[in-house]
Structure 1
Amino acid sequence: MATVILVRHGRSTANATGLLAGRSEGVSLDQVGRDQAALAGQRLSAVPLVAVVSSPLERCQQTAQFILDRQTAPPYAPIDPELVECDYGQWQGRPLSELATEDLWKVVQSQPSAATFPGGESLAVMQARAVAAVRRHDAAFESEHGPSAMWAAVSHGDIIKSILADALGMHLDMFQRINVGPSSISIVRYGTAQPSVYAINTDAGDLSWLAQGAHSGDAPVGGGAGHQTSGTTSA
């Protein structure tokens, strides 16, 4: 089975100032975000990616480029509009501190499956399109490159949280329990029976173990032996 590496974009100028950027144009990485994206690219340099698929928004494309720059062989690098940020409608561009006073904020926090942004999309629709896109790409890359194929999807916080919730078998109403920080890396393998989640919200650590090859689609009873990193030695 193929492996998808979910990468959130680095910190943006809107993140740094407490604005809900949404799909606003001209929102780029700030210096902290560029440093975060560079670290993500460094971590993934040990992983031979067949593709880096990005949201069309600038902050994601910038983050994707840091990943692409550290790959030995240039991977396929398409833009997928289905991985774009949630359409927050009339909430877009407003301060989070102001939005937190609105009644809808409580719905977004406690019952996101019932939340629809005024003039925008619902979180349920957002999740459906994002999960469908990731599963479609994953199946295509596995078909073309085999079960050991690894690829990255560079997207946004709520998008990645919703994909992880689906992979974990969680109802969308629980997706706010998942944290996905700027330039964090999460890892999912979709099997024939069920997905396996290997990492959530990591911002440090060796990822060379991903290059060791395909894994069984069955969950190891008892937890298994785990994986070896490049710093692990055998007796």
Structure 2
Amino acid sequence: MATVILVRHGRTTANATGLLAGRAVDVNLDQIGREQAALTAGRLAAVPLVGVVSSPLERCRQTAQLILDRQPGTPYTPIEGELTECDYGQWQGRTLTDLASEALWTVVQSQPSAVVFPGGESMAAMQARSVAAIRRHDAAFEAEYGAGAVWAAVSHGDIIKSILADALGMHLDLFQRINVGPASVSIVRYGADRPSVYATNTDAGDLSWLANGLRSGDAPVGGGAGRNIP
């Protein structure tokens, strides 16, 4: 299959103040967030992307645009509603400090699969829709551009954590073990037999080795020789 680079949006004004923005409009990257996203765009500049798929929320579209500004050619750039932020319902717009006093907070930490946000969606539904969207786009990019195609999906922290949990074969109740920082890069390749996770939560390092795509096939016993460093 193709290779997907999962990019979280850069830091926002809400992130900086400890506010759960959710799906609120006009939540933009702050100066640090723009710098973070620009750094990620620079890392991805060496990788010809066939597409950059983005959540519809501003902070993701801003991050995606910075990536596109450093790309040669004209990658396909759809907006994907199924990659939007979790619907936190009545939690949206409240501070994380305030939310930590809610009984549901403990369930979010220890049993996400049982969580339904008041007036919002369940975390299980969030994972189901986001994983389905990633796999659908991945299959479409491979069908169009071949197995060596590399594309990026720009989304949100909990969304990317849930996608990584699925790729790692982890139950959703374990997904809080995964960290996904602002403007971080994670890399997944969906093979014929199983997904392979090549990176999680990276914010530095050369990515030019992705320009030649990733090999499919069996996992090397013992770990193999790894990639050639340019």
TM-score surpassing 0.5? yes
Matches within 5 A, 1:192-203: 192-203=192-203
In the alignment, does 2:138 pair up with 1:138?
A: yes
> Post-superposition shift, 1:216?
2.2
Q: Distance in 2 between matches of 1:20 and 1:183?
A: 17
- The Cα of 1:72 is off from its aligned counterpart by 1.1
Gap regions ≥5 residues in structure 2: none
For the residues of structure 2 that align with 1:216 and 1:164, how far apart are their CA atoms? 19
Q: What SS is found at the alignment partner of 2:193? A: coil
Please provide the CA RMSD for this pair: 0.6
Paired residue for 1:117?
Answer: 117
Aligned to 2:213: 213
Amino acid of the structure 1 residue aligned with 2:35? D
Aligned residue pairs total 230
How far apart in 2 are the matches of 1:124 and 1:143? 29
Q: What CA distance in whole angstroms lies between the structure 2 residues aligned with 1:100 and 1:7?
A: 27
Letter in 2 for 1:200: T
Counterpart secondary structure, 2:121: coil
Residue 170 of structure 1 corresponds to 170
CA distance in structure 1 between the partners assigned to 2:59 and 2:202 by the alignment = 19
- Percent identity, aligned pairs only, is 77
Distance, in Å, in 1 between the alignment partners of 2:182 and 2:170 is 22
Runs of 4+ in 1 over 6 A off after TM superposition: none
Shift of residue 78, structure 1, vs aligned partner: 0.6
- Please state if 1:91 is matched with 2:82: no
How far does residue 65 in structure 1 lie from its aligned partner after superposition? 0.4
Matches within 5 A, 1:12-161: 12-161=12-161
Q: What is the aligned partner in structure 2 of residue 9 from structure 1?
A: 9
**Post-superposition CA distance 1:145-194 (Å, at most 9, x none):** 00000000000000000000000000000000000000000000000100
1:63, 1:10 → 2: CA distance?
Answer: 6
Contact preservation (8 Å) 2:185, 2:203: yes
- Between the aligned partners of 1:153 and 1:53, the Cα distance in structure 2 is 5
Q: Contact (CA 8 Å) 1:207, 1:229: kept in 2 or not? A: no
Offset at 1:74?
1.7
Give me the whole-angstrom Cα distance separating, in 2, the residues matched to 1:212 and 1:99.
45
Give me the TM-score of the superposition, normalised by structure 1. Answer: 0.97
Cα distance, 1:196 vs structure 2: 0.1
Rounded Cα–Cα distance in structure 1 between residues aligned with 2:165 and 2:213: 25
Matches of 2:78 and 2:42 in 1, distance apart?
21
Q: What letter is aligned with 1:100?
A: A
Alignment-derived partner of residue 187 in structure 1: 187
Instruction: Report Cα offsets for 1:115-143 as digits up to 9, x if no partner.
Output: 00000000000000000000000000001
- Pairwise CA distance, 1:220: 1.1
SS state at 2:68 partner: helix
Alpha-carbon contact 2:150-2:213 (below 8 Å) kept: no
Return the offset for 1:101.
0.4
Does the 8 Å contact 1:56/1:80 carry over to 2? yes
**1:138, 1:216 → 2: CA distance?**
14
Structure 1 letter corresponding to 2:136 = R
Once residues 214 and 201 of structure 1 are traced to their aligned partners in structure 2, the CA distance between those partners, rounded to angstroms, is 19
Offset of residue 213 of structure 1: 3.1
